[in-house]
Structure 1
Amino acid sequence: MRLSLIAGYLFLSVSLCAQSPAQLKTFRLQEVKLLPGIFNDAENADLKYMMQLSPDKLLAPYLREAGLKPKAESYTNWENSGLDGHIGGHYLSALAMMYASTGDKQALDRLNYMIAELKICQDKNGNGYVGGVPGSKELWAAVMQGDVGAINKKWVPFYNIHKTFAGLRDAYTYAGNETAKVMLIKFADWFVMIATSITPQKMQEMLKTEHGGVNEVLADVYALTGDKKYLTAAYSFSHQAILEPLEQGQDKLNNLHANTQIPKVIGFKRISDVTADSNYNKAAQFFWQTVVQHRTVAIGGNSVREHFNPSNDFSSMITTEQGPETCNTYNMLKLTEDLYLSDPRVSYIDYYERALYNHILSTERPGGGFVYFTPMRPGHYRVYSQPQTSMWCCVGSGMENHAKYGEMIYAHDQNNVFVNLFIPSTLNWKQKGLVLTQHTNFPEEEKTSITINAVRPGAFAINIRYPSWVHTGALKVTVNGTPIKVSAKSSAYVSINRVWKKGDVIGVTLPMQTTTEQLPDGLNYEAVLHGPIVLAAVLDTTNMRGLLADDSRMGHAAQGKLYPLQNMPMFVNASLHDAELIDPVAGEPLTYRAQKLIYPARYSSLKLIPFYKIHDARYVIYWQRETPESLAGIQKKMAEEDAAAQRLAAITIDMVNAGEQQPESDHFIESEKSGTGVNRDRHWRDARGWFSYQLKDKNKETGSLRVTYFGRDIDRHFSILVNNQQVAQVTADGSKGNGFYTEDYPIPADVLKSSNGVLQVKFQAADGSMTAGVYEVRLIKK
């Protein structure tokens, strides 16, 4: 529609962008500054955390591998147990983003120092390589000679060095460090050398292990240089076993390690962007669609114990303490941004917003510290990193997450601005002479306003996102206080085209509704949302062992007491309209009660507040939903299942889920002629050679080793050794039926006595045979 303007300007055109606009670009972080608010607070806490880290400690693995003397000892935890150097790579990216976002000089000085020291390492290596992988020279020499199995003897080395590769790119693209650009291209040459040294078949075999987004950065280097050798290498580093089903629209993701796959797909998308490869683009689009629609919980995260749970069974999401991993959502947001910019659908921003507020924002403790797993299990809690002890992947991605909040608030095409997120901020589009400020207390207030602070003459459009959570026709827009009639619907943009002047103000009202949302498989658990904001309840603040992580290998997981699920508060209602029974608390923004819903009565006074506000506490996000009739039966069943799980947990000293990447890494997997797979949604490992784990028993109280097998394995002959002493000879003859079963093997006292608190459990195939598939290994108390 068109309306005349009293103020002497030509016209105001308000329309609905029902179709996606053409390709967009984000603004540089330097052009968007956060104003006071929850995101600015998170940015400041992140900067403080980053400045507590020692650059020389982070640089130590790089210097060591270059044959130079480190200036300080390396950090412990993941930084000295096989993934040495990965945090240093993330640190480059985070420093560059933080400097771009804030202009903080200390961040820039740190970045420049890191780059200068890494250049010394790269120059010393002499071949473009720069990394902290233990035994780098021997490893990469073996790989280039065709021994791609050498990769499996290290802790995901390509994943590790991808962080440095990406960090060099970010140091140049975000912070303009020219030395980093030169180093990036030299490192890309090294990756090209890897790709051209081995056959395509061996490359695909090697890509079965986690390797980050090497293909993405190689595509970026191609875009930077125009040299097609980098594009060829990007294609070489693209895992066809993942790509091909996605191109065909096939979801083959069940039980795969989630964060191994997401960076690969980011690479597919980046390749498609620089080449217009429609198949790679189709693969990325389908992956996003199936993960977001079928594998994502209310907070925007995904995965159980780092793996994609079956899309039709989210029961493990409720029972485990290892819920959605922060790194997964970090990477899903990167993929979402890339997809949005080439095809600017509001649905991408709807997901981005959901994940940003409810997962990413929630994973930083206000005083500093990052979260690895966010349990969906009712009544559990999260663990927070500490700067000197915690060197997990989610610390690295966490430092990046809170340094780039300005990236997707706004976007633009050649002339027009798109307002995507309702975050207090200032945009300075120097190229167009436009300065605007967004003032908002969203989500605690259902409105935002945009003030034009400076503008050059000429008409252009400011496009306001119409979120999916605002009902059709409910979004209200004013310009300088005058209401604008907009025929619009959600999941589109409202486009306001006019000749803008300094002082113009756009007002936007964003009515939010309280809703409930089930798990994607329809399991009778539901979350409560107000608009896009997930609401949760604080249960208590007790029994949170390891709340602040030490430097132990599994310090990132909340290993405190699991509260019985049947004792957790739930929703009980005879009707299907739970949201109608959730009431706002007067005088407390975004605070609700559900006294008419919550059972048992002792929990009825619980308050529901934004999950991003809950820290240092046990909480409930997902509420079991029952009717009065179903309550008694389901509680009895849950009590029986939970009691069995509690009994097993009480007698377990240490355990490993065989075939799952991170649990195996945490237990120092070693193997020869070994493979993994999935049966009935459970992972297994077997071998024609051997495999081993290191399990801990610091109090020397183990009585036996409990191993889980599948009954149909046949003609498998193998031995089990503990600290190199045979404790059992096993024959699997297929006689145990079509299901899983366990066997207990006593551990001799002399083995335990001489163990130093660590038991190496080894499965060794007999000559000409192989081990059974091993699903789980536990140390059981006497």
Structure 2
Amino acid sequence: MKTTVFPIAFFLLLSLSTLAQMQPFALQDVRLTGGPFKNAQDVDRRYILALNPDKLLAPYLIDAGLPEKAPRYGNWESSGLDGHIGGHYLSALAMMYASTGDAELKKRLDYMVDQLARCQAKNGNGYVGGIPQGKVFWERIHKGDIDGSSFGLNNTWVPLYNIHKLFAGLRDAYEYAGNQQAKQVLVGLGDWFVELIRPLSDEQIQQVLRTEHGGINETFADLYILTNDKKYLETAQRISHRAILEPLLEKQDKLTGLHANTQIPKVIGFEKIATLTGKTDWSEAAMFFWQNVSQTRSVAFGGNSVREHFNPITDFSQLLKSNQGPETCNSFNMLRLSKALFLDKNDVSYLDFYERTLYNHILSSQHPEKGGFVYFTPIRPNHYRVYSQPETSMWCCVGSGLENHTKYGELIYSHSVNDLFVNLFVPSTVDWAAKKIRLVQRTEFPYQNQSELLVETTKPQKFSLHIRYPKWAENLVILVNGKEQAINGKPSSYVAINRKWKSGDTVTVRFTTATHLEQLPDGSNWSAFVHGPIVLAAKTSTADLKGLFADDSRMGHETKGKLYPLTNAYALVGDPATYLSKLKPVDKLRFRLDTLTLQPFYEVHDARYQMYFPTFTEAAFAEQQARLKQQEAEALALEANTVDKVNCGEQQPEVDHQYKGDKSDSGYDDERFWRRTRAYITYQLQNKGLVGKYIEISTLDDVKPEDISFVVNAKPAQLLLNQKKRIQLKADDNEVVTLTIAAKNGVSTPRINQIRILTNN
């Protein structure tokens, strides 16, 4: 007997007093039939099947006291974030199965859920997790013993973020693949968590929520939808982070300096809770957040953040300089938020951002032949990206990457009670079983500005077919069975064709696209070429692509190759009116720019590239280049002199350097991150080849030696230099350098900004 699986969003819509107009199709109803998205789906499927379920299950078995069937994976899966990929894997298996019908995926999914149920039964209290020493950790939280920072809770790496992946994976296994056992495990896990936090005050819960926790409030809202038990909805509201919500309710932008991907899932939860409770102010807060991030904090390809944090909206210079550009996880979650708001508000502008980000960030974040997912996408000219490998790489962007390419069918189409909407131009089919209608879309977009839609129906019936009129379309022409239709619509809206449709009716959609220059949101003189919704970039070199495919090192997701000076970037010089005329069409979405060839960014792989171009008038070019060259020379000289460094107060660099501490806090002032302590903080740096001779510590406050101590590898450090906000210590002869900074005399340490191991002082 065939099992019909409905998305949670479908139940949500039905549960509201007024049925919302827009409804998604289940992934089972949509099939990709060709083009770059179908290729990406196929490549992702191979990557999913290359992973070993028993290795992903190992952390859960270890924590439950059951024998492992295979050793756990290394990298992040055995250094504190154990088990988080397993949750993502459940989601990826479920959605890829729904999108393709591949029985092997369903077999693996059922096996994973069954093994997790074994772990849950062994634990005996509803809990199942892979967090190291999980039982001890959760017992401390239950008793109110809480010491949290942005990424460490009781010196455990983002445990709620970790377990949220399992909550979401179990939800998806039930929602998309109909696995009933997954629902049982999910409810048991939810009940355990409700009891875990029952003794905690609201203040203590907010203290816990200082640490990154994913979208755990959203998953408890989902539990309410699945069970109609109000305790889950109450819990969802209780574990919503007020420090983020309250400024958004007041329409205040307090995001600069915050870890970007920590915030986005919380806001998805705010929006879902709003739809269930009628809290319109929470929904307005989500809309304000989306508007802020998508319009003032995102670059041309849809991504946001530098070194994982929101940069000032008035200054994108660090984003241009860094090799750690927008993180793929951010866009994964911004698409989820865009989808939720689109379905709730019926506003096509959410689709404009969704489409831009889907083509230019998500599609580009997977190697189209070899597979492998990208963590950072730099916009620094002449730089490149790193790709994961199945056996070596277990980063957060691998987890979301596994999911990204399984669900391309989620918003190509949508429907209301009686009407069908075409949202994206992607070769595919959709089956609307309730109406016994099938729509076949044939298109080569974006290489061809046309899409053909074929209607198949068992009997003639009347309904409206709504065609999205994209924001980027210069004009729109629609023909039905070869006859041109009157267009009553404008960009960022729908054009409705209402008629009695019969099988074989054909709709042809044609549009005109153009290339334009899009400035960075800060208004600086850097612009990207965008053709229609497609961001263009040029391959510039294949030299020194060090670490192109990641090894299993702790920081394998970062590029290791040389940073080329920004002054080497191709610049657009002269009258701004001539910049676009410099482009010469060569082929479909191929343009010559002197010696460069621009092409869709999602096609650019295995190479350094340039996406953003500085623009100058003739008069400004020489002066600005000279100034930039001096700044770059100083910065590059410092990097060349650096063996290892920690940006204190930034999440990933601190995790990468084994941060530990007590009575410590962090912040962001004067556009610099910092950390201080009233007890101690410790970092572990690498001095490969023993070439580093000095440890340099930069602070935002003056250093008073009588109020602070420095210990290197368990020995008091030799102080070589104290220039108030710049301290130099002697590095000892060890490749692993453990630096401990402790407060003395009951006085907090200065705000510490950066620690470097240098070859020369």
Q: Same fold (TM over 0.5)?
A: yes
RMSD between aligned residues: 1.5
Query: Any conservation in 1 of the 2:702–2:750 contact (CA below 8 Å)?
Result: no
Code of the residue aligned with 2:476 in structure 1: it is: L
| Alpha-carbon distance change, 459 to 65 in structure 1, aligned in 2, over 3 angstroms | same
- 2:297 aligns with 295
Quick check: 284-293 or 706-715, which moved more? 706-715
For each residue in 1:346-367, what CA deviation from the matched residue of structure 2 results, as whole angstroms up to 9, or x when unmatched?
Answer: 1000000000000000001012
**Conserved 8 A contact 1:477-1:509:** yes
The residue type paired with residue 420 of structure 1 is N
2:160 maps to 158
Q: Secondary structure at the match of 2:484?
A: strand
Taking a change above 3 Å as real, the CA distance of residues 26 and 713 of structure 1, as seen in their structure-2 partners, is: farther
Q: Which amino acid aligns with 2:547?
A: G
Query: Which of 128, 139, 142 is the equivalent residue of 1:141?
Result: 139
Write the deviation string for residues 568-618 of structure 1: whole angstroms up to 9, x where unpaired.
Answer: 211112234522332211xx2100123xxxxxxxxx221100000000100
Contact 2:720-2:728 within 8 A present in 1 as well: no
Distance 1:731 1:617, change over 3 A: closer
The CA distance in 1 between the partners of 2:675 and 2:154, in whole Å, is 14
**1:122 — aligned with what?**
120
User: Are residues 198 and 711 of structure 1, via their aligned partners in 2, closer, same or farther at CA, if it must alter by over 3 Å?
Assistant: closer
Q: Distance in 2 between matches of 1:461 and 1:86?
A: 44
Could you tell me which residue of structure 2 aligns to residue 5 of structure 1? none
In 2, distance between residues paired with 1:293 and 1:220?
29
Summarize the Cα distance change of 1:687–1:114 in structure 2 as closer, same or farther, 3 Å threshold.
same
Cα offsets for 1:404-433 (capped at 9, x unmatched): 000010011111111100000000111110
Determine the structure 2 residue equivalent to 1:261.
Answer: 263
Q: What is the aligned partner in structure 2 of residue 601 from structure 1?
A: none
Distance 2:343 2:197 in 1: 30
Name the counterpart of 1:466: 469
One-letter amino acid of the counterpart of residue 667, structure 1: H
1:151-230 matched pairs, under 5 angstroms: 151-230=153-232
1:731 deviates by: 12
SS at match of 2:178: coil
Answer whether contact 1:716 1:771 (CA < 8 A) is retained. Answer: no
Structure 2 unmatched ranges of 5 or more: 1-18
Which amino acid is the alignment partner of residue 68 of structure 2?
A: P
Asked if the contact 1:99/1:175 (under 8 Å) is kept, the reply is yes
Partner of 1:661: 651
Q: Which amino acid aligns with 1:564?
A: P
Out of 393, 399, 402, the position equivalent to 2:402 is 399
Corresponding position of 1:600? none
- Counterparts of 1:326-365 in structure 2, within 5 Å, are 326-365=328-367
CA apart distance, 1:632: 0.9
Residue 36 of structure 1, CA deviation: 1.3
Q: How many residues align?
A: 737
Q: Indicate whether 1:64 and 2:66 are aligned.
A: no
Cross-structure match for 1:726? 716
Displacement of 1:48: 0.3
Question: Is residue 470–residue 510 contact of structure 1 (8 Å, CA) maintained in 2?
Answer: yes
How far is 1:459 from its partner?
Answer: 1.1
Q: Is the 8 A contact 1:719 1:728 kept in 2?
A: no
Cα distance in 2 for partners of 1:85, 1:313 equals 37
The aligned residue for residue 755 of structure 2 is 777
1:623 partner SS: strand
Aligned residue for 1:435?
438
CA separation in 2, counterparts of 1:649 and 1:152?
A: 33
The question of whether the paired residues in 1 share the 8 Å contact of 2:240 and 2:270 is answered with yes
Q: Which whole-Å deviations, capped at 9, do the CAs of 1:686-717 have from their partners, x for residues lacking one?
A: 00000011101131222110011124577981
Conservation of the 8 A alpha-carbon contact between 1:96 and 1:107: yes
Identify the residue that residue 16 of structure 2 maps to in structure 1: none
Q: Choose which of 412, 419, 422 in structure 2 pairs with 1:419.
A: 422
Deviation digits for residues 538-575 of structure 1 (CA, Å, limit 9, x no counterpart): 00111010000001111001121001110121111223
SS at structure 2 position matched to 1:418: strand
How many angstroms apart in 2 are the aligned matches of 1:494 and 1:115? 44
Cα distance in 2 for residues equivalent to 1:309 and 1:23 = 37
Q: How does 1:371-386 map to 2 (within 5 A)?
A: 371-386=374-389
TM-score, reference length from structure 2: 0.95
Give the structure 2 partner of residue 387 of structure 1: 390
TM-fit CA distance, 1:629: 1.2
Name the counterpart of 1:670.
660
Distance 1:196 1:421 in 2: 45
SS in 2 for 1:448: strand
CA contact (8 A) 1:715 1:769 kept: no
- Aligned partner (choices 441, 444, 447) of residue 447 of structure 2: 444
1:490 is matched with which residue? 491
1:239 aligns with 2:237: no
Partner residue of 1:25 out of 23, 26, 32? 23
Are residues 172 and 716 of structure 1, via their aligned partners in 2, closer, same or farther at CA, if it must alter by over 3 Å? Answer: farther
Q: d(CA) in 1 for partners of 2:53 and 2:93? A: 11
**2: CA distance between counterparts of 1:362 and 1:731?**
47
Which structure 1 segments of 5+ residues have no match? Answer: 1-20, 595-603
Q: CA deviation at 1:742?
A: 2.4
**Superposed CA offset, 1:373-415 (max 9, x none):** 0000000000000000000000010010000000010011111
Are residue 767 (structure 1) and residue 745 (structure 2) matched? yes
CA distance in 1, matches of 2:574, 2:469: 33
How high is the sequence identity, in percent, across the aligned residues? Answer: 50
Match of 2:632 among 642, 649, 665: 642
DSSP 3-state at the match of 1:296: coil
**Which amino acid in structure 2 is aligned with residue 646 of structure 1?**
L
Given the alignment of the two structures, is residue 613 of structure 1 paired with residue 603 of structure 2, yes or no?
yes
Q: Describe the superposition over 1:30-67 as per-residue Cα deviations: whole angstroms up to 9, x where unpaired.
A: 00000011100000000001100000100000000011
Counterpart position of 1:369 = 372
Which amino acid letter does the alignment assign opposite residue 526 of structure 1? S
Query: Which residue in the other structure is 2:481 paired with?
Result: 480
Q: Distance in 1 between matches of 2:719 and 2:691?
A: 23
Give the alignment of 1:574-613 within 5 angstroms: 574-585=575-586, 588-594=587-593, 604-613=594-603
Contact kept? 2:197, 2:205, Cα under 8 Å: yes
The amino acid of 1:762's aligned partner reads T
What corresponds to 2:97 in structure 1?
99
Q: 2:682·2:741 contact (CA, 8 Å) conserved in 1?
A: yes
One-letter code of the match for 1:591? R
Matching residue of 2:279: 277
| Superposed CA offset, 1:313-342 (max 9, x none) | 100110000000000000000000000001
Q: Secondary structure at the match of 2:678?
A: strand
Q: Which residue of 2 aligns with 1:513?
A: 514
Say yes or no: does 1:746 pair with 2:730.
Answer: yes
